[in-house]
Amino acid sequence: MSRIGNKPILLPADVTVTVKNHTVDVKGPKGELTFDFNADINVEVVGNEVLVKRPNDTKWMKTIHGTTRALVHNMVEGVSKGFTKTLEINGVGYRAQLQGNKVVLSIGYSHQVELEIPQGLKVETPKATVINISGIDKQLVGQFAAEIREVRKPEPYKGKGIKYSDEHIRRKEGKTAKK
């Protein structure tokens, strides 16, 4: 079940990892992240690798082992490279703009939708129909992108709405008139 948990995490040269009292601190050029992991899991730094080990092979231990390893790996990748999600807005008159610490969406409602940008994220709108969300915390980037998408999901007939740039919308054929 947890083959991922057995893989070592290679550390880039500019990233440092410290483990203390079931807490992992990861520091890199883009910032710093902290994670409290399960007390039964053992995380240790050996040279330029981080190893995650489990005490036994119960189903619960295997699942938490793989999850812990994946979270630590995402932290290392986040502080070294960062994460980015790109959203596209499709529809006539649909657009997004930044106003201070808010993203303002005009997407066909009678009012504009304002969303507060969480601390630690950088949001850009290079075009009125494109939103770039970037940050070092993968979960935070994905969650905020999902909240923006949730405001107006893409519909299958005309494709209007907010979608991820790499998402494919399955289109449906509309009704046809009877003769």
C-alpha–C-alpha distance, residues 162 and 173, integer Å = 20
pLDDT (tens digit, 0 to 9) for every residue of the chain, 179 residues total?
458 888 999 999 999 999 999 999 999 999 999 999 999 999 999 989 999 999 998 999 989 999 999 999 999 999 999 999 999 999 999 999 999 999 999 999 999 999 999 999 999 999 999 999 999 999 999 999 999 999 999 999 998 999 999 999 999 988 887 76
Number of Cα atoms under 13 Å in the Cβ half of residue 178: 0
Structure tokens at 21: 């009292």
- Model's pTM, two decimal places? 0.90
CA 138 to centroid of chain Cα atoms: 4
159: left (phi over 0), alpha (psi -120 to 50) or beta: left
